[in-house]
Amino acid sequence: MKYLVTCLLVLFIIIVLFCCIVPSTYSSIVYRNAETEYGKNFNSQRVQMGIPIIPESWEIHSVNSGITWGYEQFSELGDPPYPRYSQKQIVIVDENTIRETDRYDGSREEVRSDGDRIRDEIDITCVYSPIDLKIECNAYYSTFEGSSDISREEAIEILREWGIKYP
């Protein structure tokens, strides 16, 4: 009986350590890879693929399952004007697949009955192989009236109407 209790206690400690160490290790690996391999130093490849670069003035804002870059002015300097290119999220899906989502915020903002503010947004997501730079993109358009999938070409046309050049 004492042996069983000791084994269960050791197993419990191993599980607790595993749950604490592995997520933080994974997060630091994702952060390191996304920043060092697919950060600003990857911008020349983005130009080749025809997707937006990470501007020099942007900094990292969050690290979860991916890494999100955005305006450094989001802090005490206040928000930059609308419409705008507001953020890029990079997710390393696996060693051969990278997903980048670029968010654009429109000028139009509506207030819902519950008080939440809804701004027109376009997300353009591109999935590519870092080896051969083969790329596929789609877009998502969100407005006060609703949201829908649209083509990358439709998204680029809306961005042009907003006065934003893509890429």
Q: Could you read off the pLDDT of 20-59 as tens digits, one per residue? A: 444 443 444 444 566 778 888 999 999 999 999 988 888 8
Place of tokens 């907003």: 162
Q: Which helix (H) or strand (E) holds 19?
A: helix 2-32
Structure tokens at 67: 């890494």
- Collapse the DSSP code of 105 into the 3-class scheme (helix H, G, I; strand E, B; otherwise coil) and give the result: strand
Contact 38, 53 (CB under 8 A): no
Which pLDDT score, from 0 to 100, does residue 12 have? 55
Is it the case that residue 153 has pLDDT exceeding 90? yes
The more confident residue out of 45 and 4 is: 45
Across 51-63, b (16+ Cβ under 10 Å) vs e yields bbebeeebebeee
Sheet holding 59-63, edge to edge: 59-63, 67-70, 84-94, 97-111, 117-128, 135-142, 147-150
Which pLDDT score, from 0 to 100, does residue 25 have? 39
Which pLDDT score, from 0 to 100, does residue 96 have? 87
Contact 152, 138 (CB under 8 A): yes
**Residue 34: Cβ-neighbour burial (10 angstroms; 0-12, 13-18, 19+):** buried
Is it the case that residue 154 has pLDDT exceeding 60? yes
The more confident residue out of 127 and 118 is: 127
Q: pLDDT-based confidence at 13, cuts 50/70/90?
A: low
Structure tokens at 106: 């429109």
Could you state, in order of their start, the residue ranges of all structural domains in the chain? 33-162
Which pLDDT score, from 0 to 100, does residue 21 have? 46
Q: pLDDT-based confidence at 7, cuts 50/70/90?
A: low
Place of tokens 């206040």: 78
Which pLDDT score, from 0 to 100, does residue 18 have? 52
pLDDT tens digit string along 88-110?
Answer: 888 888 888 999 999 999 988 88
CA distances from residue 116 to 79, 105, 112 in whole angstroms, order as listed = 18, 16, 5
Classify 129 in phi/psi space as left (phi over 0), alpha (psi -120 to 50) or beta.
Answer: beta
* Whole-structure pTM value: 0.74
